[in-house]
Structure 1
Amino acid sequence: MKWMAALACVLVTSMCLAQAAQSFRPASTNVWGAQYPRIDDAGRVQVRVKAPEADSVRLNFWSGPKLQMQKQPDGFWTVTTEPLVPGFHYYTLVIDGAEVADPGSQAFFGGSRHASGVEIPEPGTTFYSVQDVPHGQVREVWYHSQVTATWRHALVYLPPGYDSQNERRYPVLYLQHGGGEDETGWIRQGRANFILDNLIAARQAEPMIVVMAYGYALRAGESLPEPAPFGSPQMWQAMQHMTSTFEDDVTQALIPFIDKTFRTLTDRDNRAMAGLSLGGMQTFHITLRHLDLFSHIGGFSGAGGVLGDSAGKFDPKTDYEGAFADAAGFAKKVHVFWIGVGTAEPERFHARIGGLHKNLDAAGIEHIYVESQGTDHEWQTWRRALHDFAPRLFRTRKTRS
């Protein structure tokens, strides 16, 4: 009888293991036909890579676990993570000390290079999913900038019906990526096109053109500055200089090109700018110095305070050339001023953005402050930010609160 009980135990265990294996499925971010990485409903990730001659393989989620993988007799290395929070996660593999991408994953540009990524679905959340609604188009454009003396690249989202409604003109949102990412991020990682498709279909947002430009710029004849430690005065000086160059590129080259190429509404009331992290800092710097061009402003985990001030200090009377000095005048010019941060982001972002929010309140500056619950300095925070920000754009002041 004991052998029967033992056999039953083995069978039950095997069935449980089989059911657990069946609950895993290939991630939506995999290359075509790749079975790994795999995810389950709990948010766990299984990674498998073939490296028969390797002595050590480690899984490195940039904002998550760093795990040693186990070598199997067939030369594959495997590991299963604990549940990850929903959203998009960058990761790499470290094979005998060399950090490489996972061949089973699509490549996403982040951290100033192409890396692997895995998408963990958020249960019950569909606002960034592909749905059965009319879809806009994302087009690639090249424009020549006299500021940089180069051809520069941007992606442009055109709303559903753009090609069929030939007489209609549209407002424009300039939407910037973060540091270490590029103009592809808002589409590939952020799913901005699907967010806009779904909002427009539900009549929750105005049909708009969205321009996503390459956010790094050097003036003609300049070379890249020497790398500087994060947070150092040299780093802030380099960022300030590059942002100043990007400001001129946006205002002198990009906006004129977009207005000439597409059917845009060219007045300031129909032009917005927003960005995440570094793109948020760029947005504040550009828009607040050019309120003749912009009337809607969004900072998604964007650094508050004076550009170049690593302490994040803020004086509404003098900073940004006094754009906030007159609260009533600011409210007349800026129809939406939106700032937000994830509750799980590092303290430096809370200090900057939360501090900006408090200072704006103290100065009587009308603005919108939103916290994304449970999310870090990551794409799930910024997807939620865009989903909240976009419906507020290009509407009357009575309906935007």
Structure 2
Amino acid sequence: MQIQIVAPDAKSVSCSFRDSSEFVKDDKGVWIGTTRSLDEGFHYYTIKIDGAEVPDPNSKYFFGAMRWGSGVEVPAKDEEFYSVKNVPHGQLREVLFFSASTDMTRRAFVYTPPGYEQDLEKRYPVLYLQHGWGENEYGWGAQGHAGLIMDNLIAEGKTKPFIIVMTYGMTSDIRMGGMANFDIKHFEKVLVEELVPYIDSHFRTLSDQPHRAMAGLSMGSMETKAITLKHLDKFSHIGLFSGATISKEDVDKTEGFRDKVKLVFVSYGSKEVGGAGAPRRGGEPEANTKGLRDAGINSHYYLSPGTAHEWQTWRRSLREFAPMLFASETEKAN
């Protein structure tokens, strides 16, 4: 990919993509450089001008890598599943809710499926969907195209319509960069005791455990595992993208797991797993998932071809996960 930056008075220009060429200024003050060959999908980057790391003024801005910066989309061969199509579209709504535990007003984005405004008697299941470390509640709607993925799946009859709730996975007492200090119980309280009741009281939800799911990517998958296993009275479907896995040992020590959990879905990008099948973050997700299936638990493992720890992996994971959510026993058998 070639990058051009107009900065006639700059002494040096570079970009954050590793293995990029040296930027050279032409006689019009335009600095030109090229990046390494980039994988398909979405990538964060910044421009460095005389030592100052700044967003590219020619790019849209996205929150990731713990800052607002630029992003580039390399067209993917399978981008059709999150493309804008002439199909009925849902809405991505921004809501503000007060959190007594953190003494602040917090933000969530809520996807409501097509038809939500037309049939005012219909109620919907809910998926709580979490971002990764260094990202925030904008991630799944902007970088992840969650709404478009759902619109297209629903139009094709591949998934049941459901609501998706996306909120910031940290709390006010946590500073970015301090992952070692992260304590899940603060966000757990916000989600379980404050956000879930807010959503159930402000949207037409099916508010029982069989119709509530949680999933997340990377850090969000760790949050998902920790929260769902402690609150099986609240969540019945679990999705873990590029991070946590659930083992048979987890099942055996979690009372009620076999009766209450309807689905465990685990996914990774193929570039995240090593030759021995172990992901870069440890564990044995494929073996663990098979162990659950052998024990009679509805569990699935998905490997995104040719992708790493990146949004293309997670977009594909949502595409694979969504059709499995809230399915009847007959549908699961098929």
TM-score, normalised relative to structure 2: 0.92
Aligned counterparts, 1:132-171, within 5 A: 132-171=86-125
For 1:226 and 1:108, how far apart are their aligned partners in 2? 16
CA contact under 8 A between 2:125 and 2:206: conserved in structure 1? yes
When the two structures are aligned, how many residues end up with a matched partner?
Answer: 328
Query: Match of 1:335?
Result: 262
Q: Does 1:260 align with 2:260?
A: no
Q: Does 1:60 align with 2:1?
A: no
Query: Per-residue displacement from partner, 1:66-99 (whole Å, max 9, x unpaired)?
Result: 3321111100101233432210011111112211
Q: Which structure ranks higher in relative contact order (CA pairs < 8 Å, sequence separation ≥ 6)? A: 2
Query: Match of 2:57?
Result: 103
For 1:98 and 1:57, how far apart are their aligned partners in 2? 9
CA contact under 8 A between 1:105 and 1:118: conserved in structure 2? yes
Query: Per-residue displacement from partner, 1:150-193 (whole Å, max 9, x unpaired)?
Result: 11100000100101110000000101111000000001100000
CA contact under 8 A between 2:266 and 2:289: conserved in structure 1? no
Shift in Å at residue 217 of structure 1?
1.2
Query: Per-residue displacement from partner, 1:189-211 (whole Å, max 9, x unpaired)?
Result: 00000000000011101111100
| Code of the aligned partner of 2:323 | P
RMSD: 2.2
| Runs of 5+ consecutive residues of structure 2 not aligned to the other structure | none
Q: Does 1:47 align with 2:3?
A: yes
Task: Tell me which of 368, 390, 397 is aligned to 2:322.
Answer: 390
User: Per the alignment, in what secondary structure is the counterpart of residue 232 of structure 2?
Assistant: coil
Query: Match of 1:322?
Result: 253
| Code of the aligned partner of 1:138 | L
| Code of the aligned partner of 1:378 | E
Query: Per-residue displacement from partner, 1:8-42 (whole Å, max 9, x unpaired)?
Result: xxxxxxxxxxxxxxxxxxxxxxxxxxxxxxxxxxx
For 1:226 and 1:264, how far apart are their aligned partners in 2? 33
Query: Per-residue displacement from partner, 1:264-306 (whole Å, max 9, x unpaired)?
Result: 000111101100000010000111111101110001102347x
Query: Per-residue displacement from partner, 1:371-396 (whole Å, max 9, x unpaired)?
Result: 11110100000000000000000111
For 2:22 and 2:35, how far apart are their aligned partners in 1? 10
User: Per the alignment, in what secondary structure is the counterpart of residue 127 of structure 1?
Assistant: helix
Shift in Å at residue 338 of structure 1?
0.3
TM-score, normalised relative to structure 1: 0.77
Query: Match of 2:302?
Result: 370
Query: Match of 2:132?
Result: 178
For 2:128 and 2:113, how far apart are their aligned partners in 1? 14
For 1:81 and 1:204, how far apart are their aligned partners in 2? 38
| Code of the aligned partner of 1:60 | S
The percent of aligned pairs where both chains have the same amino acid is: 47
Larger Rg: 1
Q: Does 1:293 align with 2:234?
A: yes
Query: Per-residue displacement from partner, 1:321-340 (whole Å, max 9, x unpaired)?
Result: 922x7xxx534321110011
Query: Per-residue displacement from partner, 1:250-270 (whole Å, max 9, x unpaired)?
Result: 110000000000000001111
